[in-house]
């Protein structure tokens, strides 16, 4: 049985429609909200006969989603990567456990997506792109060839990141624009966006 574990997930209706379109049997576990960012998952018991999928809201990228993912792993649940039936992942490309690839996404050759990362609808990820763990790539974004995005980073919707740009870990980009040079505290200085930076405009 496919078990869908949800913590206020991003576009959950789209997830359900994908499972139904593929005629997959599934049941759901809805996690209870403990506070503004945290859900409780430690009471879930792993069943080796089940296949688990975990879905959490991208807005909780550095909070509840990471916490719940860690709790699931601690009790022996390794959530499978989810691919919407309209998405296209070229071979060879890698998508790690617990990640979700939504509708109409294209992931080209030799790209790599870390664990517990959300790729929202209509995203294009070009060749040789590396995206780390616990990231969120917003809808309608374009990630060009050779881009590197480190773990725990959040990219807003309709953002374009030009080729070979490097984005450090824990970066938040909420300004929908073309990223062609590195930006640190809002200043364009070189070809990298440093660690622990928030770009909010």
pLDDT tens for 136-182 read 999 999 999 999 998 988 898 899 999 999 898 888 888 777 877 65
Shared domain for 117 and 190, answered yes or no, is yes
Provide mean pLDDT across the span 174-192. 55
Q: 3-class SS at 21?
A: helix
Count: domains in the chain: 2
- Show the domain range for 29: 2-74
Q: Check residue 178 and give its pLDDT.
A: 81
Q: Does one domain contain both 60 and 15?
A: yes
Domain boundary among 42, 74, 106: 74
Residue 191 — pLDDT band, cuts 50, 70, 90? very low
Round the average pLDDT of the chain to a whole number and report it. Answer: 85
Domain boundary among 74, 94, 111: 74
pLDDT of residue 37: 67
Average pLDDT over residues 37-41: 76
Per-residue pLDDT averaged across 85-99, rounded? 94
d(CA 49, CA 142): 38
Higher pLDDT, 139 or 11: 139
Q: Are residues 63 and 86 in the same domain?
A: no
Q: Of 23, 24, 26, 31, nearest to 5 (Cα)?
A: 31
Amino acid 185: pLDDT: 38
Mean pLDDT to the nearest integer, 41-45 = 80
70 and 89 in a single domain? The answer is: no
How sure is the predictor about 186, in pLDDT bands with cuts at 50, 70 and 90?
Answer: very low
pLDDT for 184 beyond 70:
no
Boundary-marking domain end, from 50, 74, 98: 74
CATH number of 135's domain = 2.160.10.10
CA dist 32 to 5, 29, 36, 44, 106, Å? 11, 10, 11, 12, 33
pLDDT of residue 73: 92
Length of the chain: 201
Q: To the nearest whole percent, how much of the chain has pLDDT over 70?
A: 88
Clarify whether residues 45 and 93 are in a common domain. Answer: no
Please check the confidence at residue 189 and state whether its pLDDT lies above 60.
no
């Amino acid at each position: 049985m496919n078990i869908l574990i949800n913590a206020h997930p991003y576009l959950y209706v789209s997830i359900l429609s994908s499972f139904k379109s593929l005629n997959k049997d599934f049941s759901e576990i809805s996690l209870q909200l403990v506070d503004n960012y945290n859900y409780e998952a430690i009471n879930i018991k792993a069943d080796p006969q089940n296949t688990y999928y975990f879905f959490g809201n991208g807005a909780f990228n550095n909070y509840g989603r990471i916490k719940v993912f860690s709790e699931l792993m601690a009790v022996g649940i390794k959530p499978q990567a989810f691919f919407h039936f309209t998405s296209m992942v070229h071979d060879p490309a890698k998508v790690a456990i617990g990640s979700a690839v939504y509708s109409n996404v294209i992931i080209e050759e030799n790209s790599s997506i870390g664990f517990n990362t959300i790729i929202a609808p209509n995203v294009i990820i070009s060749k040789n792109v590396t995206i780390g763990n616990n990231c969120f790539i917003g809808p309608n974004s374009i990630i060009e060839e050779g881009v590197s995005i480190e773990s725990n980073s959040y990219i807003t919707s309709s953002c374009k990141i030009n080729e070979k740009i490097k984005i450090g870990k824990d970066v938040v980009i909420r300004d929908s624009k073309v990223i062609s040079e590195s930006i640190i505290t809002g200043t364009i200085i070189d070809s990298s966006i440093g660690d622990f930076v928030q770009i909010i405009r």
